[in-house]
Amino acid sequence: MAAGLMAGFGHYTHAVVRGIPTSLASEALRSIQAEVDVAKARREHDAYIHALRTTLGLQVVELPADETMPDCVFVEDAAVVCGDTALITRPGAESRRRETEAMKAALKELNLNVVEMTDESATLDGGDVLFTGREFFVGLSKRTNQRGAEILADAFKDYAVSTVPVVEGLHLKSFCSMGGPGLIVIGSSEPAQKALKIMQQMSDHRYDKLTVPDDLAANCIYMNLPNKGHVLLHCTPEEFPESAKVFEKLKDHMLIPLSNMEKVKVDGALTCCSVLLNKKVDN
């Protein structure tokens, strides 16, 4: 079964993204106080969308920014999509719960099987969910709890779900992501390496690892696309020079460096800004 499940890993046809509200600068949640240049953040976001739509040929669904939701650009937290099922989450920060409404409508429009998380004791941010192609790891963080992980396991019954404590950083994917089939990209900090050990112990699969010096640089987006092959959207040399050098060793990947200097000030990473899905063409 596992080989069949892995065969489609990284195949995507569509991406859902959302605009950046001006309120991001002053009102978005953040772990450190830093000035955000909204115009520059929008330029970065435009380049990100351009890479998805033009360079990679995905169908991009763009939701409008909402000034009353300063964090709404970080769409990943509002839904977890796997196969033709979309789990609408219940974000850990109360101020972000309304973000799921537009996402739910967009995913219904794309004819996905939409499951909602209605249990009020549950919290789940998509940034805490790492899907490896054969199983899920869910970070238990300030934003995601055990009940949220249980509901995710219930929504995606074909896959094992293991939980990983996130002791530092906002989300599990603040220091790791997938870099290819069976390849986990991981930051080099002690908490990141500890989390990786836990993931390795919980899995019956042996994952390869690619360690990068900077935890935030470990957040990248892997795709496997027709005519493009392995694709990796990752940090720029300007942001993380040493980590960017590590990605350059991936000779069989099409590498697309994308700047994230502004959104990172409000804890945003590359995976945060899109929900990717693979829609089978209806015959």
User: What's the chain's average pLDDT?
Assistant: 94
273 is catalytic: no
The structure tokens listed for 186 are: 């991981």
Residue 281 has pLDDT above 90, yes or no: no
**pLDDT confidence bin for 62, thresholds 50/70/90:** very high
The pTM for the full model equals: 0.96
Q: What angle do CA 158, 131, 64 make, to 5 degrees?
A: 110
Q: Report, as an integer, the average pLDDT of 219-233.
A: 97
Residue 179 has pLDDT above 50, yes or no: yes
Q: Report, as an integer, the average pLDDT of 183-197.
A: 98
Write down the pLDDT at residue 7.
65
Residue 216 has pLDDT above 90, yes or no: yes
Give the integer Cα–Cα distance in Å for 122 and 259.
33
Of these residues, 176, 220, 272, 273, which one is catalytic? 272
**Bridge-partner residues for 115, per DSSP?**
87
**pLDDT confidence bin for 32, thresholds 50/70/90:** confident
Q: Could you please state the CATH topology (level 3) that the domain comprising 7-277 is classified under.
A: L-arginine/glycine Amidinotransferase; Chain A (3.75.10)
Q: Tens digit of pLDDT for each residue in 132-168?
A: 999 999 999 999 999 999 999 999 999 999 999 999 9
**pLDDT confidence bin for 6, thresholds 50/70/90:** low
Residue 2 has pLDDT above 50, yes or no: no
Give the integer Cα–Cα distance in Å for 206 and 106.
36
Q: Taking the domains of the chain in order of start, what are their residue ranges?
A: 7-277
171 is catalytic: yes
Of these residues, 171, 230, 234, 253, which one is catalytic? 171
Q: Report, as an integer, the average pLDDT of 64-87.
A: 97
Write down the pLDDT at residue 1.
33
Is residue 232 within 8 A of residue 181, CB to CB? The reply is: no
Q: Report, as an integer, the average pLDDT of 205-215.
A: 97
* Chain mean position to CA 92: 16
Is residue 171 within 8 A of residue 141, CB to CB? The reply is: yes
